[in-house]
Amino acid sequence: MMDGTEKILDTFAASVRDPFNRLKEYKARVGKKAIGYFLTDFPEELIHAASMIPIAVLGNNENISLADAYFQNFACSLVRSTLESKLNHTLDILDGMVIPHICDTTQCLASIWKIAFPGGYFDELVFPKKRHTPSARTYLLNELSRFKKGLEEYAGVKITDESLWDSIRLYNNHRELLRKLYAFKRDHPQALHEREFFTIIRASMLMAKEEHSQLLSQMMTGLAERTTKPEKKVRLVVSGMVCEPLQVLDLIDELGGAIVNDDLCTGSRYFLEDIELNHNPLEAIVDRQLKKNPFPGYHIVSDEAGDSLLDMVEKTDAHGVIFLHLKFCEVHNFDYPDLKKRLEERKIPHLLLETELQMTSLEQLRTRLQAFIEILGRR
């Protein structure tokens, strides 16, 4: 029989397996509209404060065929899979969609979406590329004000400062819980499998924050009971957009690795920084956005990305770094030579793996991961 922790983990896994059927039930229960968003750095709080349900559209591992009519097959599988889900009606339960521009491919996706799927709510967000200038802050504030106004018109709801602060507080509390869970996992890597941990994070992007926070708090009490068998693990930092397919996480576990830090959009990038509660709520959202780690290739920065990667390694005493790139992702490949150089200057071992959401055979990855983890384990 499953105990409380197992049951909650099972609920999280079910929401990751079938997010849109769960959404259908939830929408019927609460009578609200749902707005999907593409990764990353999306200000969900604004949708929540407009009394709607924000939900991440994370792609899936099913074959892609319909999207081939719109995208070359050398576009990344995350974007192609998202479009496939729209074309095969998986996303029909959504009332609208928002696509932030984070690379040329997402910019293309937004253009296709606007033309191919007219009607319904749609918006795109354009973040500043240079973040450390006064004009970047002014620009982003205007962009988010425009976005907020559009949401208000669509939802027929005024987003007041009070409602936005309420949503911000809910999201801050939730982010804090996820950070606590990560800290616990670092200290007790044997207590949670990698797939379990990253499933909890993914579920947090797919379930109502109220429900996810409640289940997560409950689960963390039970997790202490799983800490009895300490094992030596190779401590790894994972860098990339998403960890796909999820079997990569099983491999890391099986081969004796433990992820102690990451900059994934379906990982730390989602919950690392809070929104400060000290001035106007929209400005506070802007300030959080501007202090986040640079997104590869998108933000024009000098050494910031390398600094933040080294910081992640040093803070968590990691043995090495795995770059987990989605095939055909130009932006991560663009930053890779500089990041590699920074790691090599500090003699930090690293490994680059390329994956796709639809990847079925992981044998080659297994061999490379096994060799990497074994070498690190002997140091």
Tell me which of 57, 58, 79, 223 binds ligand SF4, using CB under 6 A.
79
Q: Does 76 bind ligand SF4 (CB under 6 A)?
A: yes
Shortest Cβ 296–ligand SF4 spacing (Å): 7
Largest CA distance in the chain: 61
Shortest Cβ 225–ligand SF4 spacing (Å): 38
Q: β-strand 257-262 against 34-37: which pairing, if any? A: unpaired
Q: Please say which residue, 102 or 168, places its beta carbon nearer to ligand SF4.
A: 102
Tell me which of 81, 85, 90, 106 binds ligand SF4, using CB under 6 A.
106
**Would you give the DSSP letter of residue 172?**
H
Tell me which of 50, 55, 57, 102 binds ligand SF4, using CB under 6 A.
102
Mask: binding to ligand SF4, 227-266, rule CB under 6 A, as x and -? --------------x-------------------------
**Rounded to whole angstroms, how far apart are CA atoms 84 and 267?**
24
Shortest Cβ 109–ligand SF4 spacing (Å): 8
Give the SS3 label for residue 192: coil
**Rounded to whole angstroms, how far apart are CA atoms 77 and 328?**
8
Query: 104-116 and 77-87 are packed helices; what angle lies between their axes, rounded to 10 degrees?
Result: 10
Q: Please say which residue, 81 or 163, places its beta carbon nearer to ligand SF4.
A: 81
Give the DSSP letter string of 224-276.
GGG-SS----EEEEEEES---STHHHHHHHHTTEEEEEE--TTTGGGTSSPPP
**Rounded to whole angstroms, how far apart are CA atoms 330 and 103?**
8
Query: Which listed range, 74-82, 247-255, 285-293, 306-314, lies at the site for ligand SF4 (CB under 6 A)?
Result: 74-82
Query: Which amino acid type is present at position 121?
Result: Y
Tell me which of 8, 83, 103, 348 binds ligand SF4, using CB under 6 A.
103
**Rounded to whole angstroms, how far apart are CA atoms 126 and 130?**
12
Q: Please say which residue, 217 or 333, places its beta carbon nearer to ligand SF4.
A: 333
Beta-carbon contacts of 22 under 8 Å, excluding residues fewer than 6 positions away, are 14, 15, 206, 207
**Which residues lie across from 35 on neighbouring strands?**
54, 96
| Structural tokens at position 54 | 């924000």
Shortest Cβ 241–ligand SF4 spacing (Å): 4
Query: Which listed range, 1-9, 72-80, 118-126, 187-195, lies at the site for ligand SF4 (CB under 6 A)?
Result: 72-80
Count of residues of this chain found to bind ligand SF4 when the rule CB under 6 A is applied? 12
Q: Please say which residue, 23 or 102, places its beta carbon nearer to ligand SF4.
A: 102
Q: Please say which residue, 94 or 99, places its beta carbon nearer to ligand SF4.
A: 99
**Would you give the DSSP letter of residue 291?**
H
| Structural tokens at position 283 | 């400005």
Shortest Cβ 292–ligand SF4 spacing (Å): 15
Mask: binding to ligand SF4, 287-326, rule CB under 6 A, as x and -? ---------------------------------------x
Say if residue 69 is exposed, middle or buried (CB neighbours under 10 Å; 0-12, 13-18, 19+): exposed
Query: Which listed range, 50-58, 183-191, 274-282, 329-337, lies at the site for ligand SF4 (CB under 6 A)?
Result: 329-337
Query: Which listed range, 50-58, 103-111, 225-233, 282-290, lies at the site for ligand SF4 (CB under 6 A)?
Result: 103-111
What are the CA-CA distances from residue 379 to residues 4, 228, 350, 376 (Å)?
Answer: 39, 26, 14, 5
Residues that bind ligand SF4 (CB under 6 A): 76, 78-79, 102-103, 105-106, 241, 326, 329, 331-332
